Amino acid sequence: MASIVRHGLHGLRYTLFAASSLLVAAYAFAFLRMRPFNPHDPFMVKFAVSGIDVPMHFFGAGLALLLVPLQASGWIRCRLPAVHRTAGWLYAGGVLIGGLGGLSLAFDAHGGWASGAGFALLSVLWLAITANGIRLAVAGDFVGHRRWMSHSLAMTFSAVTLRVILFVGTGPLALPFDTVYIFSAWASWSLNMALCELWLRWPQWRAHRRSPARESARAPGRTVAISTPALAPAEPATRSGSQRSRA
């Protein structure tokens, strides 16, 4: 029963993770469509003078986010490795395009240097982490590759986290938009990175907590045999043994 519940929760988490990634990716592609220019919208004004940076960032990040559920699937990685590799190269291309576009946009970000520095650091780390993950895969270190690419996926998923923070901050909490936006520029990716590291370390922590000695000590009615050096000399035992042999 516990196994069924655990698998059900895992499926629910993955479904929410995949659905939110696909929805924000669809929003990124929809944003690239021609829309009426609104001179009172500060974002549209900045985007209008940014040149190719906006299309680069939204297309590249949207492509990477679209592939996040596929690359995060262990089933795909184990049973369809060719699909995983092909999608991985497409994902890396999306990160390269989106990261370079995002880095350029960060210098003129809404909120000034307070938010721009957060977005710039996000772009640099996103590019560097993904590049190192690819390097490890080419070198044949697939354990290290999966670890680094998990962090890359967490950085990509910051597009979803950013919008959740904006929604909660400006909606239920009714905070000023600029304050929430600056906070999200840093929290959207740093929070994801911290949660990703906790997720990667969790199996080790769980294995340590469930070690045989700990499980035996916790079980009711059980005792744990502890080996200690002999405190008494061995001579009495030898004598008793000789007496039994004479009898």
SS3 string, 129-181, reads HHHHHHHHHHHCCHHHHHHHHHHHHHHHCHHHHHHHHHHHHHCCCCCCHHHHH
> Does the model's pTM come out above 0.75?
yes
64 CB contacts (<8 Å, ≥6 apart)? 91, 94, 95, 98, 156
Contact 65, 126 (CB under 8 A): no
Domain ranges of the chain: 53-202
Q: Phi first, then psi: what are they for 37, rounded to 5°?
A: -75, 130
Average pLDDT, the chain: 84
Query: Each residue of 27-46: pLDDT tens digit?
Result: 999 887 766 667 777 777 77
Tokens linked to 69: 């559920």
Mean pLDDT of 224-242: 41
Residue 232 scores a pLDDT above 60: no
Structure confidence by residue, pLDDT tens digits, 80-92? 999 999 999 999 9
Among 56-65, 130-139, 222-231, where is mean pLDDT lowest?
A: 222-231
**Gap between the Cα atoms of 138 and 84, Å rounded:** 14
pLDDT of amino acid 234: 43
Query: What is the dihedral angle through the alpha carbons of 116, 54, 102, 70, rounded to the nearest 10 degrees?
Result: 140
Q: Please work out, in degrees rounded to the nearest 5, the angle formed at the alpha carbon of residue 133 by the alpha carbons of 114 and 153.
A: 55
- Provide φ and ψ at 196, rounded to 5°: -65, -45
User: Nearest CA to 61 among 126, 15, 121, 117?
Assistant: 126
Which pair of tokens denotes residue 111? 């909120």
Phi, psi (degrees; rounded to nearest 5) at 77: -65, -40
Residue 127 phi/psi, 5-degree rounding, is -65, -45
Closest residue by Cα to residue 68 from 23, 18, 136, 28: 18
